[in-house]
Structure 1
Amino acid sequence: MTKYLKLLRVEQWIKNLFVFVPLFFSGNITNLDLLGKSIFAFVIFSLIASAVYIVNDYSDIESDRKHPLKRRRPLASGVISKSTAVAVFVLLIGLSITLVILGQYFFSQNFWKFTTIIGLYFFMNLAYTFKLKHVAIIDVSIIALGFVLRVLAGGYATGIEISQWAILLTFVLALVLAIGKRRGELINAQVSGKTRRSLDGYNVQFADIALSISCTLVIVCYLMFTLSPEVQAKFHPRVFFTVIFVVFAILRYLQQTLVYNRTESPTKIIYRDKYIQVTLVLWIAAFLLQIYFK
């Protein structure tokens, strides 16, 4: 069972929590109807994402076998056969299509918009898998757009309008994680050799500069989000002070990346770094206080 969970990369489903962003920032997290719609969208996105991961691992079997960590993936290591992986892929696609069709009964108002987002995410990631991941800068931009699509899907599923600053914040935050991952791969490549063609378009100095710019944009976008008229009107004005947690989390992430070189996988830092975990909990608690205890 564990090998199938690894094939689906269930630990990566944490990225799909961005589907809940519109619900959280709108102050409707306790609305059970909207929460149910967000969970439904989360499940669909998770199934589609796992299907894409299988395609990616299938196409990268040979290169993954040369990577010190990726060689342990089920397909690269041989614990799951190619035919089994194809069967699981077909099953995931079938389940995803079925749930999308059922989705018209959950969010009929924006059904076609939601379906378009799901389709765009799937085919964009197929293009990424077979071509675009080999093109420097475009590769990290595609990853960041994937997070934006998650947020848009959550908005269409619930019918909640999304702030422009929230969309831009999502993009630059995802860009930080993607660039941090590329930097980690560059550091690893110095020891074991390059395992990704797009790395030819990067070097550590460029990654450091791009990461610094992106981190600055994250702070600026979050600051502008908290100061925007609609947010100030919806929440208590002191929501502005939650920027403190964002700044600390960004600094901690930069420390892990630039000082300790520990962020080749952006999800690992969330699962392992207690400082960032505590900061996230405090940020969520502080933001909830602004929403529900004004």
Structure 2
Amino acid sequence: AVAAFVAFSLTASSVYLLNDLVDLQADRAHPRKRLRPFASGALPIMHGFGLAIALLVLAVAISLAFTPPAFIGALACYYVVTFAYSLWLKRMLIIDVLTLATLYTARIIAGAVATTMWLSPWMLGFSMFIFLSLAAVKRQAELTDQLRGGREKSIGRAYEVDDLPVLRGIALSAGYAAVLVFALYISSPGIKALYGDPRFLWLICPLLLYWISRMVMMTHRGFMTDDPIVYAASDRVSQVVILLCLAIVLVSGSL
């Protein structure tokens, strides 16, 4: 599992570097992204390509030596889709956010394959919807920055400022759909075999509804960073919501 984690991290880092290099023009026009090492000129572009290749080669070597074939296949699929996203898919309307949701879900699948853990369809459904919501929040944040900067159309993306209400709707509806999937999971017949008292899990639903709504609201007000997941990790309210959800899961399982 450790080797799989390292290999996946190296692969993701390789693609992130490639994405930054492909996105140089858009990053240089962005108020925050222009400060990134390659966009600002702090690091030579060729160094970035060299490092991306080196990280990928190292990831492949570790995967072939220490991980099962199923994980290698999952990792290869992840890289191909991420590579396609960096070059083409992120410039395609709606397909970009669907791809982002798929890629985040692919990480969960790869982790399950690496640890030979059974992956619930409920988890896959919840993951797709919640990450689709966060992907829409990401695009909403970019457009909000554009609106404040007086730009009507984003560089390297298919969205315009007029699309903001639609993206907000996608973010909210996908997030609420994730909560619905979780509610259906709590109501499923097999839940009692996994938790001592699954009724407590219902308390997570209003917490998630609040968190999703707040994320969209913070984005609307211009407080969201370029990555909603990074924002959530550093946001005190998000941290409290996550801790409360974990506590509820623990209580439900111990009773």
TM-score by length of 1: 0.79
Q: 2:155 aligns with which of 195, 207, 213?
A: 195
- Within 1, Cα distance between the matches of 2:105 and 2:27? 28
Contact 1:180/1:264 (<8 A) preserved: no
Closer, same or farther in 2 for the Cα pair 1:260/1:64, shift >3 Å? closer
Closer, same or farther in 2 for the Cα pair 1:201/1:115, shift >3 Å? farther
- Within 2, Cα distance between the matches of 1:201 and 1:175? 20
Q: 2:133 aligns with which of 155, 168, 176?
A: 176
Amino-acid identity (%): 27
Q: Are 2:192 and 1:232 aligned?
A: yes
- Within 1, Cα distance between the matches of 2:5 and 2:209? 28
Q: CA deviation at 1:248?
A: 2.7
Letter of the aligned partner of 1:196 in structure 2? G
The structure showing larger relative contact order (alpha-carbon pairs under 8 Å, at least 6 residues apart) is 1
Q: Are 2:92 and 1:129 aligned?
A: no
Q: CA deviation at 1:228?
A: 2.2
SS in 1 for 2:159: helix
- Within 2, Cα distance between the matches of 1:121 and 1:202? 32
Q: Report which stretch shifted further, 274-283 or 42-51.
A: 42-51
Closer, same or farther in 2 for the Cα pair 1:202/1:158, shift >3 Å? farther
Contact 1:47/1:96 (<8 A) preserved: yes
- Within 1, Cα distance between the matches of 2:128 and 2:82? 16
CA-to-partner distance for each residue in 1:235-258, whole Å, 9 max, x for gaps? 122333332332232232233123
- Within 1, Cα distance between the matches of 2:220 and 2:189? 36
Alignment-derived partner of residue 89 in structure 1: 52
- Within 1, Cα distance between the matches of 2:226 and 2:53? 30
Q: CA deviation at 1:160?
A: 1.6
Letter of the aligned partner of 1:285 in structure 2? A
Q: Are 2:210 and 1:253 aligned?
A: no
Unaligned runs of 5+ in 1: 1-36, 105-110
Q: CA deviation at 1:162?
A: 1.2
Q: What is the root-mean-square deviation in Å for CA atoms of aligned residues? A: 1.9
Closer, same or farther in 2 for the Cα pair 1:174/1:234, shift >3 Å? same
Closer, same or farther in 2 for the Cα pair 1:232/1:201, shift >3 Å? farther
TM-score by length of 2: 0.90
Contact 1:56/1:129 (<8 A) preserved: yes
Q: CA deviation at 1:135?
A: 0.3
- Within 2, Cα distance between the matches of 1:288 and 1:116? 34
- Within 1, Cα distance between the matches of 2:79 and 2:34? 25
Q: Report which stretch shifted further, 246-255 or 53-62.
A: 246-255
Alignment-derived partner of residue 14 in structure 1: none
Unaligned runs of 5+ in 2: none
